[in-house]
Amino acid sequence: MRQQSSFARLLASAAVTAILAAGLGGCQTMSDVAGPLTSRADASPDADPRRAVEVYGERYRADPKDVGVALAYGKALRATGQRAQAAAVLEQATIAHPGNKALLAGFGRALADNGNLQQAFDVLTRAHSPDNPDWGILSVQGTVLDQLGRHDEARRYYASALKIVPGEPSVLSNLGLSYVLSRDLPKAEEVLRQAYGSDKADARVRQNLGLVVGLQGRFAEAETIVRADLPAEEAAANVAYLKQMLSRKDNPRPGAGPGPMASLGRAG
């Protein structure tokens, strides 16, 4: 019984980590697109999250009601792990612009990052409407529901997203991780292989598939998957992380933060 319980905790820890990396890391349809914030002569600081915090923080303090700056500052804060501050910044922006859907989406994502799951779901619900649904928001709502343990409901949100963007690998990846959380590893692998087969699949999908294959005891195959098409240093880091996750079967450490897999996703 103890071994089974440890494995269940491993699945929850691994899958939530992967969801945060692949799901909340995100869809560009949400808060990533902040609009034109810089001119050609003003090089974007976004490539360096710490510099982005400084640049956008200064702009935000100069004009806290600027929607684009608030979104960019919140994104930079999330990228540097300042989740509570990101949520606070975006909450103030939504107070100033209560009907702005992009701000509501960004605030919802920041709340989810910060672990305020039910509030995040409620805010994300306000970020779009049934007559104008946003597949990216639907997918993130699914990840929030999964973290709340409401897996069947989460899968209905993924299904709604997939009706808008059939075969979208980021949504399929989240759906696969939903099955990981409910310990249906064969189904998780089936869905993640669909995502992996897409021309639009990115490195996060590969890592999630590798994780699920490894959780089923096929480590050599999992290592081949996570190494594919990656530079040697990055491949080694991801293999090391995969080994670390799989080693938690007997000594899980719930609540451990994301490892190298998280670096594969966008910070948005």
Lowest-confidence region among 81-85, 129-133, 212-216: 129-133
- Per-domain residue ranges of the chain: 1-26+172-268, 30-126
Q: Span 50-74, mean pLDDT? A: 93
Question: Is residue 169 scored above 80 in pLDDT?
Answer: yes
Mean pLDDT of the chain: 78
What SS3 class is residue 113?
A: helix
Q: Is the pLDDT of residue 103 over 60?
A: yes
Of 146-150, 249-253, 256-260, which one has max mean pLDDT? 146-150
pTM (2 d.p.): 0.75
Q: What percent of the chain is predicted at pLDDT more than 90?
A: 55
| CA–CA dist 18, 173 (Å, integer) | 10
**What pLDDT does residue 235 have?**
79
Residue 231, both tokens: 């530079």
Tens digits of residue pLDDT in 109-158: 999 999 999 999 999 999 988 888 899 999 999 999 999 999 999 999 99
Of 28 and 97, more confident = 97
Q: Which CATH architecture has domain 30-126?
A: Alpha Horseshoe (1.25)
Lowest-confidence pick of 26-35, 39-48, 231-240, 252-261: 26-35
pLDDT confidence of residue 248: 61
- pLDDT value of residue 45: 63
H-helix segments, the chain: 2-22, 49-62, 67-79, 83-96, 101-113, 117-126, 135-147, 151-164, 169-181, 185-196, 203-215, 219-227, 232-246
Give the residue-averaged pLDDT of 30-47: 37
Q: b/e string for 201-238 if b means 16 or more Cβ within 10 A?
A: bbbbbbbbbbbbbbbeeebeebbebbbeebeeebeebb
Asked if 249 and 6 touch (Cβ cutoff 8 Å), the reply is yes
